[in-house]
Chains A and B, each alone.
Chain A
């Protein structure tokens, strides 16, 4: 844990065990392949921790893990995905105090404001848990085509989504970016806030214990400006969420995304305290239309008009 536990103990007090913050790739917690770390400070400028500084290789490993997990996660039932995402909320509720502390220290908020953000994040997961088995009925359709065919359109996950989490809103923002991506069956490679990466890695510990299959969410700490260009140009990434990128980086990443015709969600200025609409869900969905002949001659005699 951050500042408090890693700080000095007074004489006679127990020395807290400080945590080494690592990456979260394929369900494991590796150090950066590059061996690099960077110092994370709390909102007051004090030392908080050394975080792993994710590299191009880490990003590529994360894409491999996300691609591997995609078939299983996308192929699981919507009911099952809903239960897993609800389980994440349950796990988070149990560790609420830890996140309030991290957000308070990292963002320099009052405890009550930080607590409101953590509560909103938990509630957001519950919200999306209930979406998994509604998406197809809300966004799909039976198509009344003008011919003897049964035709339906159904939403499907786009694939591997690379996302830059918000820089300032280090936890509610992070959860608000990740949840809609995985709700519909996509898998994610997420670059955390650079200056405030600790809630992301603490959240990875929640994910690792929430029955979420390994690789569905992969979290990299470090600099989005360094890591995202590799993901934007990666041939096995299907879509980008650029929420956490500034305008200049967004434009560069959108250009890189064009090389493999990636879907890009840049969205408007996000306000994560407001209840979410469906734009983030829809951004990472494809529509598949299936046709089959009905084979039946109109039972009532048919005829043309």
Chain B
């Protein structure tokens, strides 16, 4: 193969989306009891990670405000939401789904400005999938008796939910939609660095006429999340974030009898066999690790490639990655946007430095990197062994660790050799091998000849230390219902 790192030298004219579409306000307020109210916490300035410039001031809540929100949610549950027929509840969810779709362009811009992800991703994935999630769950609200949890399944009460910064609006939808469909009310806390899109969602919820207190949206840092999940007025806790915080939550809720679901970290293996359609596999590898800058818990961060095709795959991969455009997330041509925060950028730098120190070979995409904002160029480590930290720990950035294998058994052993178990990928043309691998991989989602597909009808969630409980599909709904076989006493 030729030594070139990039087969294409195409120049792209800038194609920026207009920031004005986001209609950003100077100041954003938490949403409690149906009103946007001043929080009693310290104000934060949320910044655009692509420019490091402030976007807006956000009022955050205090622990007293958490209490107020939980009380509002309890009152709404007791007086309105738990008494409303499912068919009526569902109509509110349909309204929210439509509201998101109607303000899709605005939401995409807000999301990209606040998060740093490419506008084409927020526009084509985050926002439409969030709307779809509400639309799907809206339909469940009056069909709970058909969901397989008994003839008259009951909601749990007030759900306390904490979401991460990597898919701010989509994670809000994943949490709020099933909770409301099942008849619960919600207090949800957004991530510290990405509070904006969910507060636009709050406007949509208010405009939909959802009764006050049914959805309460809090802003703040980890201390507020902690106060929320440990609040005695909460019946159900749902958390998406790091395995470390997940452990703390599980531990702090020990003995309370409160229901918990956790969507935590991952270190997915993306396995490429020698009979795979290599060009498609390369696209899948790129999508698997560089989608959303690799800020994806199910990212295909460990490439396991069969030894006989390893060189060919790596060569093609470098060529393809060399064509990825990193830069202004608002540009519709941008493939890789900004790292969400300076803190996350430091973590990525630290772990990749460990990769160097442990003897893996680093390759960095030659693409130009903006001189301001938080950016990290697409990076591949080859010669990675299983013991290295870059093969074991979640980097949560655009960094791929490449390992090789000879036999399918070795691929399975290496893929499963992790405390995580969120997702995995398999690339092969052989049908029986796809199904055999899908069975053998200890992961909650297996993508075969594709990667990073999400749908409200398809359950998503982890094995082992990637957490428990599912989001999406029938099992995701079950996470918000009392499914303890009340009648039988089991």
Contact = CB atoms under 8 A, between A and B. Distances in A.
Interface of A: 138-139, 141, 143-147, 149, 151, 153, 158, 235, 238, 247, 250-255, 257-261, 263, 266-271, 274-280, 282, 286-293
Given A144-B457, A247-B255, A276-B490, 16 more contacts: A138-B148, A141-B474, A149-B453, A238-B464, A255-B251, A257-B254, A258-B247, A261-B246, A268-B490, A274-B487, A277-B490, A282-B483, A286-B463, A289-B446, A289-B459, A290-B448
A254 B255 contact: yes
Contacts of B447: 290-291
21 contacts: A141-B473, A143-B457, A153-B459, A251-B254, A254-B250, A257-B254, A258-B248, A261-B243, A261-B467, A263-B468, A271-B489, A274-B488, A276-B490, A277-B485, A279-B490, A286-B444, A288-B438, A289-B444, A291-B450, A291-B458, A292-B450
Contacts of B391: none
Contacts of B291: none
Contacts of A139: 148, 475
B455 A147 contact: yes
Nearest to B431: A292
Contacts of B445: 288-291
A149 B450 contact: yes
Interface string B424-466: 0000000000100010000111111110010101111101111
B458 A145 contact: yes
Interface string B250-265: 1101110100001010
Contacts of B249: 258
B470 interface: yes
B132 interface: yes
Interface string B323-354: 00000000000000000000000000000000
B465 A291 contact: no
A244 to B, nearest CB: 14
Given A143-B455, A288-B446, A257 B250 contact: yes
A216 to B, nearest CB: 18
Nearest to B425: A291
B232 interface: no
Contacts of B444: 286-289
A261 B247 contact: yes
B484 interface: yes
A291 B443 CA distance: 13
A268 B457 contact: no
A263 B262 CA distance: 10
Contacts of B484: 267-268, 279
Interface string B410-426: 00000000010000000
The 7 closest A-B pairs by CB, nearest first: A251-B255, A277-B485, A254-B254, A271-B489, A258-B250, A258-B251, A145-B455
A60 to B, nearest CB: 18
B257 to A, nearest CB: 7
Contacts of A289: 444-446, 458-460, 473
Contacts of A255: 251, 254-255
Contacts of B257: 266
A268 B262 CA distance: 21
Contacts of B483: 279, 282
Contacts of A293: 449-450
Contacts of A275: 488
B254 A145 contact: no
A44 to B, nearest CB: 30
Nearest to B478: A282
A250 B254 CA distance: 8
A282 B148 CA distance: 12
Given A261-B264, A277-B488, A143 B458 contact: yes
Name, among A139, A149, A269, the residue most crowded by chain B CB atoms within 10 Å (CB to CB).
A149
B148 A250 contact: no
A147 B250 contact: no
Contacts of B247: 258-259, 261
Nearest to A74: B439
Given A261-B467, A268-B484, A279-B483, A290 B254 contact: no
Nearest to B463: A286
A253 B254 CA distance: 8
Contacts of A277: 150, 485, 487-488, 490
A259 to B, nearest CB: 6
Nearest to A250: B255
Contacts of A287: 444, 459, 461, 470, 473, 475
Given A147-B453, A291-B448, A279 B243 contact: no
Given A277-B485, A282-B483, A290 B446 contact: yes
Nearest to B452: A291
A95 B467 CA distance: 42
Contacts of A292: 434, 448-450
Nearest to A153: B459
A291 B473 contact: no
Nearest to B136: A146
A304 to B, nearest CB: 13
B455 A146 contact: yes
B389 to A, nearest CB: 18
Given A251-B255, A268-B489, A291-B458, A145 B453 contact: yes
Nearest to B135: A146
Contacts of A149: 450, 453
Nearest to B437: A290
Nearest to A269: B489
A70 to B, nearest CB: 11
A59 to B, nearest CB: 20
B446 A291 contact: yes
Given A143-B455, A147-B453, A276 B488 contact: yes
A153 B438 contact: no
Contacts of A288: 438, 443-446, 463
B457 A145 contact: yes
Nearest to A254: B254
Contact of A143 (B150, B473, B488, B489): B473
Given A145-B453, A268-B490, A278-B485, A261 B446 contact: no
A277 B465 CA distance: 27
Contacts of A278: 485
B455 A258 contact: no
